[in-house]
Amino acid sequence: MRFRHAVVTGGAGFLGSHLCTALLDRGAAVTCIDDLSTADPRHVDHLRDRQGFSLIEADVCDPFDVARPADLVLHFASPASPADYLRLPIHTLETGSLGTRNALALARRHGARCVLASTSEVYGDPKEHPQNEEYWGHVNPVGPRSVYDEAKRFGEALTAAEAAVHGTDTGIVRLFNTYGPRMRGHDGRAVPTFVRQALDGEPLTVTGDGHQTRSLTYVDDTVRGVLAMAESDLRGPVNIGNPAEISMLDLAHLVIRLAGSDSTVRLIERPVDDPTVRCPDIALARGKLQWEPRVPPDEGLARTIAWYRERAAAAAR
Ligand SMILES: NC(=O)c1ccc[n+]([C@@H]2O[C@H](COP(=O)([O-])OP(=O)(O)OC[C@H]3O[C@@H](n4cnc5c(N)ncnc54)[C@H](O)[C@@H]3O)[C@@H](O)[C@H]2O)c1
């Protein structure tokens, strides 16, 4: 890895904690900047004693700096689960706007590459399927989800302008739904919710008729894609996601089977502006980053279920 010191905003969150681990494993020092607003601080416990790791508790909406020269900034701070961004709408908009401005300014001062974590949500409820990077999206600018979708769209625009005006080395990854160990069980996203319900013997709550689809990428694959983007000189945006599309109903039944659970499925009301389909076209990532997902859903879900089981057993001891 060519980076010596990476700053990871949102590094105490789900994806951020995996990225910090991967960067340390590859020999980079890591400064994690996180206000812990949607983090479970236990998720960086395994990093606290590692050489080269430091955690600064700070809100990226306020300008921030690091003492040592940095050569990579991964801007991952942002509420990401609908439950979190609906609870923190202004914070989400400010993190996507002011936070992105401050992350880019840090990269500019240090001459570092800055990679923005954008999202498939910029495609909204898409009219094109699968979604490639040329598609502009179909987003309700004032619906409840807009605080997240539009914050990310603004963050992309600001990142593109930063590169054009200041020549800062920037990249944008559009991440599709990622799952794996260290998601908070009550963060409201489908995989941790289904796994928690299956392990507790509760009905799995599927919204609508369950035929809406998602693309699910195991966290190790997403981390590999983000680091490939960091190591490249691509500006993006580049989709990082799994083109194997799965309906929510099929996902619920798969989790029940893999967990060996007796749970049933209960249909509940579908959220406003919930996307009907989601599936990435990853030709760009395949061609330019030699990246594609490697972990099949059965394997990734089995690893995730095992992690939740171990954590529950440890808590009970
Ligand atoms: N997980 C996914 O499926 C997914 C998909 C698309 C995009 N993303 C993007 O990846 C990033 C990480 O997502 P995640 O799933 O790990 O979410 P997460 O909620 O687990 O982590 C986000 C982290 O950012 C921190 N944070 C939030 N606002 C902050 C602020 N103003 N200042 C400092 N820290 C702040 C939180 O405390 C948390 O630790 C987000 O930008 C998200 O939009 C994630």
Cα-to-centroid distance, 14 and ligand 1 (Å)? 7
Burial degree of 253 (CB within 10 A; 0-12, 13-18, 19+):
middle
- Ligand 1 cavity residues, CB under 6 Å: 9-10, 12-16, 34-39, 59-61, 76-80, 84, 95, 99, 117, 119, 175, 177-178
Query: Residue 84 belongs to a domain with what CATH number?
Result: 3.40.50.720
pLDDT for 312: 86
Cα-to-centroid distance, 26 and ligand 1 (Å)? 22
Q: Please name the helix (run of DSSP H) or strand (run of DSSP E) that holds residue 119, with its range, or none.
A: strand 113-119
If one counts the domains in the chain, the total is 1
Tell me which of 8, 17, 38, 92 to substitute to probe ligand 1's pocket, judged by most ligand atoms within 8 Å of the beta carbon. Answer: 38
Q: Is 153 helix (H, G, I), strand (E, B) or coil?
A: helix
Task: Give the residue among 281, 291, 174, 153 at the shortest CA–CA distance from 231.
Answer: 291
Cα-to-centroid distance, 264 and ligand 1 (Å)? 31
pLDDT for 315: 84
What CA–CA distance (Å, rounded) separates 27 from 18?
15
What CA–CA distance (Å, rounded) separates 96 from 153?
9
Tell me which of 33, 42, 64, 76 to substitute to probe ligand 1's pocket, judged by most ligand atoms within 8 Å of the beta carbon. Answer: 76
Tell me which of 7, 9, 14 to substitute to probe ligand 1's pocket, judged by most ligand atoms within 8 Å of the beta carbon. Answer: 14
Say if 107 falls within a structural domain. yes
Pairing of strands 265-268, 238-240: unpaired
Please report, rounded to a whole number, the percentage of residues in the chain having pLDDT higher than 70. Answer: 100
Question: Residue 133 sits in which domain range?
Answer: 5-180+216-241+277-294
pLDDT for 291: 98
What CA–CA distance (Å, rounded) separates 278 from 18?
24
The residue length of the chain stands at: 317
Of ligand 1's listed atoms, the one at least distance from the Cα of 12 is 39
Q: Cis bond leading into 130, ω under 30°?
A: yes
pLDDT for 16: 97
Say if 249 falls within a structural domain. no
Mean pLDDT of 119-129: 93
Q: At residue 277, does pLDDT exceed 90?
A: no
Pairing of strands 213-215, 245-247: antiparallel
Q: At residue 259, does pLDDT exceed 90?
A: yes
- In this structure, the dihedral spanned by the alpha carbons of residues 20, 171, 95 and 81, taken in order and rounded to 10 degrees, is -70
C-alpha angle 163/117/47, rounded to 5°? 120
Say if 195 falls within a structural domain. no
Confidence of residue 187 (pLDDT cuts 50, 70, 90): confident
Q: At residue 41, does pLDDT exceed 90?
A: no
By alpha-carbon position, which residue is closest to atom 11 of ligand 1? 76
By alpha-carbon position, which residue is closest to atom 42 of ligand 1? 80
Task: Give the residue among 240, 212, 273 at the shortest CA–CA distance from 120.
Answer: 240
User: What DSSP state is assigned to residue 98?
Assistant: I
Q: At residue 278, does pLDDT exceed 90?
A: no
Say if 89 falls within a structural domain. yes
pLDDT for 53: 97
Of ligand 1's listed atoms, the one at least distance from the Cα of 36 is 37
Mean pLDDT of the chain: 95
Say if 300 falls within a structural domain. no
Say if 174 falls within a structural domain. yes
Q: Which residues of 175-212 are buried (b: 16+ CB within 10 A; e: fewer)?
A: bbbbbbbbbbbebbbbbbbbbbbbbeeeebebeeebeb
Whether 148 is catalytic is yes
Mean pLDDT of 188-204: 95
By alpha-carbon position, which residue is closest to atom 21 of ligand 1? 13
Q: At residue 296, does pLDDT exceed 90?
A: yes
For 51-106, what is each residue's pLDDT tens digit? 999 999 999 999 999 999 999 999 999 999 999 999 999 999 999 999 999 999 99
pLDDT for 316: 83
Say if 27 falls within a structural domain. yes
Mean pLDDT of 153-180: 98
Of ligand 1's listed atoms, the one at least distance from the Cα of 152 is 43
pTM above 0.75, yes or no: yes
What CA–CA distance (Å, rounded) separates 14 from 35?
14
Burial degree of 45 (CB within 10 A; 0-12, 13-18, 19+):
exposed
User: Which residues, 6 or more positions from 305, have their beta carbon under 8 angstroms from its beta carbon?
Assistant: 195, 198, 199, 255, 258, 259
Tokens 């195991």 -> residue: 218
- Catalytic residue among 148, 179, 218, 308, which? 148
Would you say 92 and 148 are in contact if contact means Cβ atoms under 8 Å apart?
yes
Say if 123 falls within a structural domain. yes
